[in-house]
Amino acid sequence: MLSAPVGEGHVAAARALAARMRVLWPDAEVLEVESTGRGSRDALLRVSYRLTLRFVPRLYGIGYDLLVRFPKAAEVFKAMSAGGIGRSLEPVIAAASPDLVISTYPMISGGLAWLRRRGRLPGRAVAVVTDVAVHPFWVWPDLDETWTLLPASREQARAVAPLAEVRVVPAAVDRRFRPGDPSAARAATGLRTDAFVVLVTGGSLGFGGLERVVDAVLAGGEDVQAVVLCARNERLRARLLARGLPSDRLVARGWTDRVAEEITAADLVVTTAGGVIATEALAVGRAVLFAAPIPGHGRAGAAMTAAAGLAVVCRTPAEVTAAVRRLREDPGARAALAARAAEFGRADLDDELAALALRV
């Protein structure tokens, strides 16, 4: 099970898959590797990703859009990166001699494809796409399978690589992300029972101008309680706490392993990031609102999720306020979104893993 800690989504998906495999396949040995094998270059990749999205997100968006718009150029960059990562991964692959290799990080999938082309990748190889939107680095036809989240995602992947074996598979989320009792979750997390609870998140790094988003959410009504998952962004949490707002209006959480409970307790999940946190919310059956999603995969994934009827996209703070107010005042509209989310999350990932075991 291969992933890389560039953000937390890729790693979270890999850990969720590994945990499910250990339950389903108790006699299997599941080895988790959270690295491309390139040492200091991994650290550089992680830091550059974080700094780019924090300080120059438009630059990241431009790079993403160019890859999508110019697939032939993307193939050149894919070829340049795949060889180095393939060579770095080869000792791990050779030592394990696995029956099955799964990657949740696109560049690692490229390294596996490079090894496959040279006859150095034993067993079956699967690339798991953790975003709704599929950019060229996600799809490598040399691998046996590519798992995507929506029919539209599958079509994107097939456009990138017509010869790839692409499947629509339930989201790779932890078993805790399933429909639950909101009242019990609010009691467990100390939230108001009489409020319209909005969970606000910018992913593991708290990206996306969350302070403006919080202001827009709170403007949605006096009975709105905003719960902000600041994650690893302690500066953001400190600034929110410094406002001195009462906890019945604003709760700022640091890093927590109780995200499933927080989502279950909420009436609405507002995210600037998309990716795994959005699919986790959908798996719980919660309405999702994308607030000025980050450039690149954030905007692309938000648009596709909304097109599938699974979310609302707001480009400005004013649109966020209007959407929160509408969903607060119209339980029917909120219930319709939640019902479509629940339908998305109803498919059983364990069933897909059981079928995969037959193909290995």
pLDDT digits (tens, 9 = 90+) for 176-199: 999 999 999 999 999 999 999 999
Helix axes 210-218, 317-329, angle to 10 degrees: 40
What's the pLDDT score for residue 220?
96
**Residue with the two structure tokens 């998309």:** 274
Same structural domain, 253 and 295:
yes
pLDDT value, residue 39: 65
Q: Which pTM value belongs to this model?
A: 0.91
pLDDT of 204? 67
Angle of helix 297-307 relative to helix 151-160, nearest 10 degrees, comes to 130
> Does residue 121 share a domain with residue 195?
no
Pairing of strands 33-34, 166-168: unpaired
Residues in the chain: 360
First to last CA, the chain: 15
pLDDT at 166: 98
What is the pLDDT, as a whole number, of residue 40? 60
In terms of residue numbers, what domain contains 292? 182-346
Residue 273 pLDDT:
77
For 98-141, the pLDDT digits (tens) are 999 999 999 999 999 999 999 999 999 999 999 999 999 999 99
When divided into structural domains, the chain yields a total of 2
Please check whether residue 359 lies inside any domain of the structure.
Answer: no
Q: What string of DSSP letters covers 241-253?
A: HTT---TTTEEEE
Residues of the chain with confidence (pLDDT) below 70: 7, 39-55, 204-208
Q: What is the pLDDT of residue 97?
A: 94
Do the domain assignments include residue 357?
A: no
Q: Does residue 230 sit in the same domain as residue 277?
A: yes
Q: What is the CATH classification number for the domain harbouring 321?
A: 3.40.50.2000
Q: Which one, of 250, 246, 223, 220, lies nearest residue 236 by Cα?
A: 250
The domain that holds 13 is classified in CATH as 3.40.50
